[in-house]
Amino acid sequence: MPKALLLENIHPFAAQSLRDHGFEVETLKGALSEDELIDALDGVDVLGIRSKTNVTRKVIDARPNLTAIGCFCIGTNQVDLDYAGKRGIAVFNAPYSNTRSVVELVICDIICLMRRIPAHTHHMKHGVWDKSASGSHEVRGKTLGIIGYGNIGSQLSVLAEAMGMRVLFYDIEEKLAMGNAKRMSSLNDLLEQSDAVTLHVDGRKSNTGFFGEEQFSHMKQGAIFINLSRGFVADLDALKRHLDSGHLSGAAVDVFPTEPKKTGDPFGTPLADEDNMILTPHIGGSTLEAQESIGHFVSQRLEDYWYKGSTMLSVNFPQLTLGANRGNVRIAHLHANLPGVLGKMNHILGEENINISAQSLGTEGELGYVVTDVSGKPDQATIDALSHIEGTIRMRVLSGD
């Protein structure tokens, strides 16, 4: 029976789905440190994490039998993807499942900051009745600047425009504009025209410190700033200076450079004393609907990979979408992308008079992945010969239905 370990309060649906598909499942509420993770992975075949648990080279080297990792979230920067691939560990995530949840929170933040709801709430809690429209605005007719026009940014664009906002966006890649959104040729042009600026960039290392003093300086007087992307993207000290000076009228931050590993741990930030500020504990995608959807999506990817060898939507393997086994045995062979591997495999099978029922090959970068359905069961000598082909990283033999 394969064993799965799920960390960080992954939705119970995932654990139940894996159990229903023959896995022994252990669940833990919080994230684990590097050494704790190594200990916990003893005998584990499949690991499920969210954003706080880091799977490093040290972890991968210590547990070479780990077969797959499911990131039950959008980001995968917490996993050393290249190294995992080279060691034969497939990684999957949920790139679309919580998009709507993040977008709705951004819309909520925009409205609340434009109406100065955090400031009014703070005053009311401290016994001050401040019935004033000063600094309070409708979002209709205002300009929203979206930095990063991927799945989240583009859907946000549609909803913001439906509320009557003018939408500008900036992305380093070519993106199709949704509705009447306008692509900006430079980041500074977007910042200088936007009443609200929201970040939706990915977790690549080059985005570290992407939005700092220079970028804040180019924002409009009285604009608001929102970051629900990555904690290391924005300079929060620079943000505080521009809030304190009155240059910016408010901000919402959901992600931080350093975050606690589990619920209940202490947390502090200098932004806490700002007047028109929304601080949330990395909950952009944390709705029950999104977490259930993520649990369903990622657990299915892990199940399909374990039993079928399917790598559909893997972030570090060549992608093969595979159906049911069309032979008696399925051979999944991950290897370095070298010439002649497929020919050597077929030669070995032919020498043993093993008929190939179906075969799929995919290559990506330094990796090649071939899945072969055969009508006869290879003996151990044949399996050994296949696994010793030059460049072999990992080979799995899967039984047919």
List active site positions.
230, 259, 282
Dist CA 246 CA 240 (whole Å): 10
- Specify the amino acid at residue 285: G
User: Two tokens at 283?
Assistant: 């909950």
Measured CA to CA, the distance from residue 341 to residue 274 in angstroms comes to: 61
- Rounded to 10 degrees, the C-alpha dihedral 326/331/332/336 comes to -130
DSSP string, 158-176: HHHHHTT-EEEEE-SS--P
Q: Treating both helix axes as pointing N-terminal to C-terminal, what angle do 288-308 and 12-20 enclose, rounded to 10 degrees?
A: 30
**In whole angstroms, what is the distance from residue 63 CA to residue 41 CA?**
7
Q: What is the CA radius of gyration of the chain?
A: 25
Q: Are strands 224-227 and 277-279 parallel, antiparallel or unpaired?
A: unpaired
Comparing CA positions, the residue from 105, 329, 46 lying closest to residue 228 is 105
Residue 126's contacts (CB-CB under 8 Å, 6 or more residues apart) are none
DSSP strands (E only) in 115-154:
143-147
